[in-house]
A = this chain, B = another copy of it.
Amino acid sequence: MSRPRTTVTLTADLVILTIRSGDLCVLTVERGNEPFVGRPALPGGFLRGSESLDETAARELAEETGLDAGSLHLQQVGTYSAPDRDPRTPRVVTCAYLAIAPNLPSPRAGSDARAAGWLPVADAQRTVLAFDHNQILTDAVELARDDLQFRAIAPAFCQREFTIADLREVYEVVWGVELDKPNFHRKVTDSPDFLVPTGRKRSTGNGRPAALYRSGPATALVPPMMRPADAAF
């Protein structure tokens, strides 16, 4: 056979999104090795031993953020296999994952001595990232924007207990829109099994305290949270 089966190594790359001071941010690291030394990149690592890619992704997520992957939203975005995406041999094919995290205290710089930091997604998209990570980032963000409409993933951006205003901020930041507070409140509280009231309240010092909710068992949002036609994205 002129073109035999190709052997490759696999990586899982992570697009870890969170919201920090009103911006949608992504975790980037500075590459410590060739290729692309010193260039910002998405965190990720090689499939090792007899892991599955999901396990690789969960392990990398724990290493980068200190968070248990079991408690976070983690899903595949797609697999990127262009032959020239990575100059190493054997070829490196990557499976990209989208992770959604609540606002973390601060990135754990230095678990493997690489500088890590949260970068607003808009800035990251204007930066030249290593490999095909610009494409991966764009695809992952688009996936997150779409999923917000139909799936109950917004609470993944929040702490375990959150207010309706917290949840609304997720939509507003990720979509780049303003939503009507009263209507939003009704929509999410009416969506069956989406939110579970805890009975507790949280006061921000100003104004009436807001009721606290936890994420409910629903995975789908019915009816969907329609993205306004004038959304920025």
Contact = CB atoms under 8 A, between A and B. Distances in A.
A49 B5 CA distance: 7
A207 interface: no
Interface stretch (A20-28, A51-59, A103-111, A117-125): A51-59
Contact of A81 (B3, B47, B224): B47
Contacts of A53: 79, 81, 93
Interface in A1-41: 1-10
Contacts of A8: 7-10, 47
| Copies of the chain in the assembly | 2
Q: How large is the interface on A (under 10, 10 to 19, 20 to 34, 35 or more residues)?
A: 20 to 34
Contacts of A82: 52
Contacts of A49: 2-4, 6
Contacts of A50: 6, 83, 91
A165 to B, nearest CB: 28
B54 A81 contact: yes
Contacts of A76: 78-79
A5 B91 CA distance: 12
Contacts of A42: none
Nearest to A54: B81
27 contacts: A1-B48, A2-B49, A3-B48, A3-B49, A4-B48, A5-B9, A5-B46, A5-B48, A6-B9, A6-B10, A6-B46, A6-B47, A6-B48, A7-B8, A7-B90, A8-B8, A8-B9, A10-B81, A50-B83, A50-B91, A51-B83, A52-B81, A52-B83, A53-B79, A53-B93, A79-B95, A81-B95
Interface string A214-225: 000000000010
Contacts of A95: 79, 81
Contacts of A10: 6, 8, 81, 93
